[in-house]
């Protein structure tokens, strides 16, 4: 505790960051808010949009198909990251994207009451998703430029914590607010419009705060002095070297199928909780979904992720990858139980979702570690970015068909198929070649 306390005292005194031109600014002043701002638009685009559209009467087929396209900016993110290096500074990109996201959220709020709201808000959500993915590139780059190595290590847990807080705020508190407004006003569209105006105001305040509080590292400069053709030539070499890695086909197969069941489940879970019991759902209110899926679920997800990281660090990835694959797939059986028995107990429903989310968090640790393992070596940062692109593709493509499949065969059969999709995930793991020592302390 003594070393940590000393470090915290030094941080509170604002250690000068790298570069003589950087103002004395404590990382505590901007890292929590920066990563809160990074997580919030992602959860809005991926999860909040699904619940909003369901409450407005959009079919599960259309919800899953069109909201799955919102993953595309994260799929192709590695291909435009060189532009973030070429043009302007990372700080400029962070502030500009936050302004654009805030404007987009306000745009959603304005468009919700319109007759053509579905098409119009989808277009704005795509703009928000693109801006959010660009913000991810700039924020992570800024983090590495503004902090030295010891600070980066110290604050990695802090940034992860506030990213999780953003998830809880988006999937939990924001949904609870929308549900409360539905109850008070009796008007679903007005309630969601107010909710997005509040969210837009929060994001504009974050942008203004970061405009003044973010430090200005001397190393944060655009690559305009570097030959652009040289940057793209290097990108081409990096791209080619990724696909020349040993076991590339098996690795890509793993990245695309490891979350196969989860990629379809995530698009239908909230609609299932909201749908009436007559149509096979559980008939929860918007507020209740905010509590069970956005708060209880996210807390269980976080705990699972923490324990997954601890387990892998003790015995290594090779030892834990199969148990973690079972953890990310088999707990989905709780949705089979919920769809067949349709329990009325809110606490039983909450406990079931918590079990599934805990298993997902625990099992997801293996996915992240394998991507790090496969990306290791020369160009590991860029190669890891390519891996995350395939990770997003593995969520986008199956998710597009989830709504159509559910409406064709019903909730019960849909969740049975989710369990059957455990097989591809488990089948690929014995063919992966992993160093026995990788991941151990």
| pLDDT at residue 17 greater than cutoff 50 | no
Note the Cα 48 to chain centre separation in Å: 12
Helices (H), 44-116: 49-55, 60-68, 72-75, 77-86, 90-111
Tell me what pLDDT residue 163 has: 85
Whole-prediction pTM: 0.83
Q: Where are the domains of the chain?
A: 25-217, 234-441
What's the rounded mean pLDDT across residues 298-303? 86
- Higher-scoring residue by pLDDT: 182, 150: 182
* Domains 25-217 and 234-441 equal at CATH topology level: yes
CA distance 180 to 169: 15
CB 280 within 8 A of CB 412: yes
Q: What helix, strand, coil percent values describe the chain, rounded to 5?
A: 80, 0, 20
Of the spans 145-154, 160-169, 271-280, which averages the highest pLDDT?
271-280
CA distance 312 to 438: 9
Q: What is the mean pLDDT of the chain?
A: 85
CB 419 within 8 A of CB 336: yes
CATH number for the segment(s) 234-441: 1.20.1250.20
Which DSSP category does 173 fall into? I
For 25-217, CATH number out of 3.30.230.10, 1.20.1250.20, 3.30.70.100, 3.40.630.30 equals: 1.20.1250.20
Place 7 in a pLDDT band, splitting at 50, 70 and 90: very low
What's the rounded mean pLDDT across residues 181-208? 94
CA distance 327 to 223: 44
């Amino acid at each position: 505790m003594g070393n940590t306390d000393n470090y915290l005292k030094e941080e509170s005194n604002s250690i000068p960051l790298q570069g003589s031109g950087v103002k004395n600014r404590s990382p505590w002043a901007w890292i929590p808010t920066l990563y809160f701002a990074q997580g919030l638009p992602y959860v809005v685009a991926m999860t909040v949009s699904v619940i909003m559209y369901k409450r407005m009467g959009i079919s599960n087929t259309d919800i899953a198909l069109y909201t799955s396209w919102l993953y595309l900016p994260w799929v192709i993110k590695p291909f435009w990251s060189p532009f973030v290096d070429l043009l302007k500074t990372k700080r400029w990109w962070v502030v500009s994207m936050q302004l654009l996201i805030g404007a987009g959220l306000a745009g959603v709020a304005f468009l919700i009451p319109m007759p053509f709201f579905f098409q119009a808000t989808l277009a704005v959500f795509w703009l928000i998703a693109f801006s959010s993915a660009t913000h991810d590139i700039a924020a992570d780059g800024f983090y590495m430029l503004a902090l030295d190595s010891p600070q980066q290590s110290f604050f990695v847990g802090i940034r992860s914590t506030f990213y999780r807080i953003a998830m809880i705020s988006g999937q939990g508190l924001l949904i609870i607010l929308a549900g409360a407004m539905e109850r008070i006003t009796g008007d679903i569209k007005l309630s969601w419009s107010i909710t997005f105006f509040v969210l837009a105001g929060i994001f504009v305040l974050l942008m203004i705060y970061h405009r003044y509080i973010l430090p200005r590292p001397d190393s944060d400069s655009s690559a305009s002095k570097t030959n652009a053709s040289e940057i793209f030539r290097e990108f081409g070499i990096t791209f080619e070297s990724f696909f020349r890695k040993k076991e590339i086909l098996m690795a890509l197969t793993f990245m695309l199928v490891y979350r196969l069941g989860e990629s379809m489940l995530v698009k239908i879970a909230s609609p299932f909780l909201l749908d009436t019991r007559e149509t096979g759902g559980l008939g929860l209110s918007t507020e209740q979904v905010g509590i069970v899926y956005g708060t209880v679920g996210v807390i269980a997800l976080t705990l699972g992720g923490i324990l997954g990281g601890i387990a892998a660090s003790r015995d290594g990835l090779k030892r834990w990858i199969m148990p973690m694959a079972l953890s990310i797939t088999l707990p989905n059986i709780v949705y089979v139980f919920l769809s067949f028995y349709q329990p009325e107990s809110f606490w039983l429903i909450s406990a079931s979702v918590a079990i599934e989310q805990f298993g997902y968090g625990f099992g997801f640790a293996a996915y992240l570690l394998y991507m790090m393992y496969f990306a290791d070596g020369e160009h590991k940062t860029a190669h890891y970015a390519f891996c995350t692109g395939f990770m997003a593709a593995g969520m986008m493509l199956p998710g597009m068909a989830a709504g159509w499949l559910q409406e064709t065969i019903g909730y019960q059969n849909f969740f049975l198929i989710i369990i059957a999709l455990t097989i591809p995930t488990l089948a690929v793991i014995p063919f992966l070649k992993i160093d026995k020592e990788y991941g151990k302390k």
